[in-house]
Homo-oligomer: A and B are copies of this chain.
Amino acid sequence: MPAKKATHQQTKQHNRDLILKTLFDNPQISRAEIARTTKLTRATVSDMVADLIEEGLVAEVGYGSSIGGRLPVLLSLNADSRYLIGLNLAQDKFIGAVVNLRGEIKETCEAPVGSNNGEQALQIVYQILDQLISTDCKPIVGIGIGTPGLVNAREGIVVNAVNLDWQDLPLARLLETRYHLPVSVLNDSQAMAIGEFVYSGSYKSDDNLIVVNVGYGVGAGILINGRIFQGDGGGAGEIGHVAVQENGVACRCGKYGCLETVASARAVVQRAQVLSETSDPQINSFESLETAFLAGDPLAQRIVTEAGHYLGFSIANLVGTLNIKSILLTGDMTCFGESWLGSVRESMSEAALPRMVQDTQLEIGKLDFRGCILGASASMLLSGYTLLFTQTNNN
């Protein structure tokens, strides 16, 4: 229950949000249908739509069919009336994109990240953003960042990202100062989860969803009632650094036997390097593992299957803890397709309660690396259309 009574201004903003959301959910819709969907009066809808048309956010795009009387005018969100920037810092290269209000990628820019130097990594972020902001896509109304590591999303601080050598970096503040735009900073797996939720077209706005992102690292994003759940410290979904093996190998986080050391893309490459030292083909990269796997190499298949089994046990924990029925897998490891997915499913079923497993749908996500970019940009939509749509008219 909300703790405060709504003011008039908040009510107006709430109605505006409702109408925008309805326009976002429907490619074309009449004023009358908006009124029906939102339960607002026709007059309120008409007034607000007039404002939105004046601001260029909404356009009249044609006529619908009628069951008698005048043909209704159809409205549509003007997808290219505002743009967002999404940035994925989770790979060995940073990838940024300008996307429109429908998540269509308009421009991209990427740069390799070689070193482990925090200041250099930050400079590369600036370079990419400088370039994306100078394209013809205007106005840009916000920047969303998906970064590996532990993030305090409320304050936009990267608490700890080992690979990027960032500790307590106030990334949102730095970027807001430089670009004078609102900035949202999210963990990359959380961003990926938002991307799948908003843009894969499968979810209703109050659904629950878990996305487990299995790449170089392993992390999850958890949506509860359509909102990303970040926990008290922003680290919800950090399942990659929970120990799953007693006496396991050292993890880059400093501990031993973490899920990442047995289930990630990094883990399978390391294991393949060790086990294939004297065999043919010799496997020394993710690409060569993928090639060997697809060629039916038994060692490659065994390594991938084992990694899938470890992941399945951790997913059983998610099932037992949250009982969320839709779970998606994303990230590099999904390139191993059905046979990897099969091994994940097998150990999940073995380790979780049958009554709960039978209602769980574990699938591979629909978006690829773009998921993180789209999710990072969409995080501004989810955090209230307010932020996004009031930016340019100073409400």
Contacts and interface: CB of A to CB of B under 8 A. Distances in A.
Interface string A16-29: 01100100000000
Interface in A308-358: 313-314, 316-326, 350-356
A239 B319 CA distance: 9
Contacts of A222: 321-322
Copies of this chain present: 2
B317 A233 contact: no
Contacts of A89: none
Interface string A264-279: 0000000000000000
A320 B317 CA distance: 11
B253 A353 contact: yes
A379 interface: no
Contacts of A316: 242-243
Contacts of A3: 18, 38, 205-206
A208 interface: yes
Given A3-B205, A3-B206, A355 B159 contact: yes
Contacts of A4: 38-39
A303 interface: no
Interface string A282-296: 000000000000000
A351 to B, nearest CB: 4
Given A224-B224, A353-B150, A232 B5 contact: no
Nearest to A358: B233
Given A3-B206, A5-B40, A313-B243, A356 B321 contact: no
Given A18-B1, A38-B5, A233 B356 contact: yes
A253 B355 CA distance: 10
A318 B242 CA distance: 9
Contacts of A324: 231-232, 236
Nearest to A149: B355
Contact of A321 (B18, B313, B321, B325): B321
Interface in A218-238: 220, 222, 224, 229-238
B40 A235 contact: no
A82 interface: no
Contact of A239 (B15, B320, B359): B320
A160 interface: yes
Given A239-B320, A242-B351, 4 more contacts: A4-B38, A222-B321, A235-B323, A241-B320
Interface of A: 1, 3-5, 14-15, 17-18, 21, 38-40, 150, 159-160, 205-206, 208, 220, 222, 224, 229-239, 241-243, 253-255, 313-314, 316-326, 350-356, 359, 384
Q: Which 6 A-B pairs have the closest CB atoms?
A: A231-B323, A243-B351, A242-B320, A235-B323, A232-B325, A241-B353
